[in-house]
């Protein structure tokens, strides 16, 4: 069995998707885990009210074709997610409608209608030892993580590992951003969720992904690739290479690496397929603090002392990317102020004002701005140093 499988999938034509799914799954062990009568939960990425062509959500044709393959093996299939916002039937049904999920129903899957919430105790976790999650996952004998490959303001990349954050009910997501404000701890929390739910298979929809102002308001990016792995972190290590990121650039990969869940680099994986053939050289990644050329050691030399640590914190804040409104695109809807977990945003003259002393750089405002007017910005000094 290969660590990761990578194949071409040039379009969302149903026949093309079916063939690509069969091809990508075979080196990763296929669907041999499926038994007659098993209930398989497919955790899609249905982040918001976005049509399939936007490149932000798992495409319904891929989900429909996977459903057919699972049904052919005698499985019951339920597809679900908890988007950002209310975790209620009315709200999520509307997300299902806009994202095209009723195609999945036509293929024989159920769309999740269990909106219960459960409490988890996970003593082995790095940070999330207690958390609230969506109860529908408990009713599944196995969970498949079917994600979308996208840029991400806080995590640099959204793919297999990040997709499991959808197990947290939508209205609670801002609380978790506030509870884990640093990118490192937020990533550790996500890896905790991956370890708790342990999806039996991770599939990445990179047929059309998203770059730029992701994960919701970026640009649809044709990439023509499908990936599969038994490990969300191994899949993500290859995804990072495809879009031009290093392991060190993606906090979830760093969190997985520090726990021994992945290798140091994608070349250490046993991969089926030519990864470099799918490399997207013009992928527009969002700058994160991990990309910044940190010059503390050049100025202060090696070693570890209190002054250097304090200097590092100051420089990290000065050089890190941050959200900021585009005044020409903002319509003053106040969504950013409403969703900000740190209450760092107030409205003045129908424009958002961000209190930088309160901002925790969770990028919730950027992710859920309905007009894409909240952008990831980089201080001029960071842009200059990173050339």
Which tens digit of pLDDT belongs to each residue from 43-95? 999 999 999 999 999 999 999 999 999 999 999 999 999 999 999 999 999 99
pLDDT of residue 366: 86
Q: Which residues fall within 8 angstroms of residue 356, CB to CB, at 6 or more apart?
A: 322, 344
293 pLDDT more than 50:
no
Res. 376 pLDDT band, cuts 50 70 90: confident
Instruction: Tell me the C-alpha distance between 254 and 231, whole Å.
Output: 15
352 lies in the same domain as 223: no
Please state, in angstroms and rounded to a whole number, the distance separating the CA atoms of residues 306 and 301: 13
Beta bridge partners, 301, equal: none
Identify whether 349 is part of a domain. Answer: yes
Same domain as 351, residue 312: yes
| 149 lies in the same domain as 208 | yes
Among 51, 39, 5, 43, which Cα is nearest to 25's?
5
- The answer to whether the CB of 192 falls within 8 A of the CB of 122 is yes
Q: 246, 278, 310: which is the final residue of a domain?
A: 278
Reported confidence tier of residue 360, pLDDT bands at 50, 70, 90: confident
Distance of CA 301 to the CA centre of its chain: 36
Which residue has better confidence, 293 or 381?
381
Please indicate, yes or no, if residue 290 is contained in any of the structural domains: no
Q: Is residue 287 part of a domain?
A: no
Residue at 130 is within a domain: yes
Residue-range definition of the domain harbouring residue 301: 296-385
pLDDT for residue 385? 45
CA atoms of 365 and 361, how far apart (whole Å):
9
Bridge partners of 203, per DSSP, are 146, 228
Does residue 78 fall inside a structural domain? yes
Q: Using CA atoms, how far apart are residues 199 and 195, in angstroms rounded to an integer?
A: 8
Average pLDDT over residues 5-17: 98
- Average pLDDT of span 158-187: 94
Q: Could you tell me if 318 and 378 lie in one domain?
A: yes
Sign of dihedral through CA atoms 145, 18, 270, 221? negative
pLDDT of residue 361: 80
* pLDDT computed for residue 318 by the predictor: 55
Please give the pLDDT value at position 291: 39
> Cis before residue 323, ω within 30 degrees of 0?
no
CA atoms within 13 A on the CB side of 193: 26
Q: Is residue 303 located within the same domain as residue 205? A: no
**Percent of the chain residues topping a pLDDT of 90:** 76
pLDDT digits (tens, 9 = 90+) for 236-269: 999 999 999 999 999 999 999 999 999 999 999 9
| pLDDT, tens digit, 9 for 90 and up, residues 310-353 | 555 555 555 567 888 998 999 999 999 998 988 999 999 889 99
pLDDT of residue 289: 43
Q: Which residues contact 190 (CB under 8 A, 6 or more apart)?
A: 155, 161, 162, 164, 165, 252, 255
Of 229, 250, 278, the position where a domain reaches its end is 278
Specify if 361 maps to a domain. Answer: yes
CATH number of the domain that 93 lies in? Answer: 3.40.50.11440
Distance CA 14, CA 32 (A): 22
- Domain count along the chain: 2
Q: How many CA atoms lie within 13 A of 211 on its CB side?
A: 19
Closest CA to 264 of 275, 280, 279, 248: 248
> Which among 245, 278, 311 is the end of a domain?
278
Mean pLDDT of 164-175: 94
Neighbours of 64 (CB within 10 A): 23
Q: 332 and 216 in one domain?
A: no
pLDDT at position 386 is 47
Domain membership flag for residue 25: yes
> Which value, in Å, is the radius of gyration of the alpha carbons in the chain?
20
- Residue 272 placed within a domain: yes
Helix (H) / strand (E) containing 20: helix 14-25
Question: Are 264 and 130 in the same domain?
Answer: yes
CATH number at residue 373: 3.30.70.20
Is there a single domain that holds both residue 40 and residue 149?
A: yes
C-alpha dihedral sign at 14, 15, 21, 24: negative
Do 197 and 274 belong together in one domain? yes
Contacts of residue 306, defined as CB under 8 A and 6 or more positions apart, other chains included, come to none
Determine the pLDDT at residue 341.
Answer: 86
Query: 63 with 153, same domain?
Result: yes
Whether residue 147 has pLDDT greater than 80 = yes
d(CA 260, CA 61): 35
Question: What's the pLDDT tens digit per position in 84-129?
Answer: 999 999 999 999 999 999 999 999 999 999 999 999 999 999 999 9
Res 215: pLDDT: 95
Q: What is the mean pLDDT of the chain?
A: 90
250 plus 376 within the same structural domain: no
Report which of residues 370 and 382 the model is more confident about: 370
Q: Higher pLDDT residue, 212 or 305?
A: 212
Say if residue 140's pLDDT is above 80: yes
CB 196 within 8 A of CB 120: yes
**pLDDT above 70 covers what percent of the chain?**
89
164 and 45 in one domain?
Answer: yes
Distance CA 277, CA 288 (A): 26
pLDDT beyond 90 at 197: yes
């Amino acid at each position: 069995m290969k660590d990761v499988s990578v194949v071409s999938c040039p379009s969302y034509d149903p026949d093309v998707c079916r063939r690509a799914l069969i091809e990508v799954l075979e080196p990763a062990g296929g669907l041999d885990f499926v038994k007659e009568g098993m209930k398989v939960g497919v955790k899609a990425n249905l982040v918001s009210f976005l049509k399939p062509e936007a490149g932000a959500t798992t495409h319904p044709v891929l989900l429909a074709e996977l459903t057919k393959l699972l049904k052919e093996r005698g499985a019951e299939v339920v597809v679900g997610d908890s988007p950002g916002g209310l975790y209620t039937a009315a709200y999520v049904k509307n997300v299902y409608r806009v994202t095209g999920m009723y195609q999945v129903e036509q293929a024989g899957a159920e769309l999740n209608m269990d909106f219960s919430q459960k409490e988890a105790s996970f003593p082995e976790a790095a940070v999330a030892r207690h958390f609230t999650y969506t109860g529908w996952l408990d009713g599944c004998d196995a969970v498949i993580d079917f994600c979308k490959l996208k840029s991400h303001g806080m995590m640099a990349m959204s793919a297999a590992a990040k997709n499991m954050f959808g197990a947290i009910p939508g209205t609670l997501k801002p609380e978790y951003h506030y509870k884990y404000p640093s990118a490192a701890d937020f990533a550790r929390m996500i890896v905790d969720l991956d370890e708790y739910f342990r999806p039996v298979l991770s599939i990445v929809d990179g047929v059309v992904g998203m770059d730029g102002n992701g994960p919701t308001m970026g640009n649809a990016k044709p990439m023509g690739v499908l990936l599969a792995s038994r490990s969300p972190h191994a899949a993500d290590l290859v995804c990072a290479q495809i879009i031009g990121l290093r392991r060190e650039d993606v906090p979830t990969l760093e969190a997985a690496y520090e726990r021994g869940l992945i290798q140091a680099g994608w070349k250490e994986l046993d991969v089926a397929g030519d990864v470099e053939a799918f490399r997207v050289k013009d992928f527009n990644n969002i700058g994160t603090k991990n990309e910044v050329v940190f010059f503390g050691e050049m100025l202060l030399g090696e070693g570890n002392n209190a002054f250097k640590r304090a200097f590092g914190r100051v420089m990290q804040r000065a050089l890190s990317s941050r959200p900021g409104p585009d005044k020409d695109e903002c319509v003053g809807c106040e969504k950013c102020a409403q969703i900000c977990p740190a209450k760092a945003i107030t409205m003045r003259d129908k424009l958002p004002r961000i209190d930088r002393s309160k901002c925790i750089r969770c990028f919730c405002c950027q992710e859920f701005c309905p007009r894409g007017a909240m952008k990831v910005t980089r201080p001029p000094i960071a842009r200059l140093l990173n050339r």
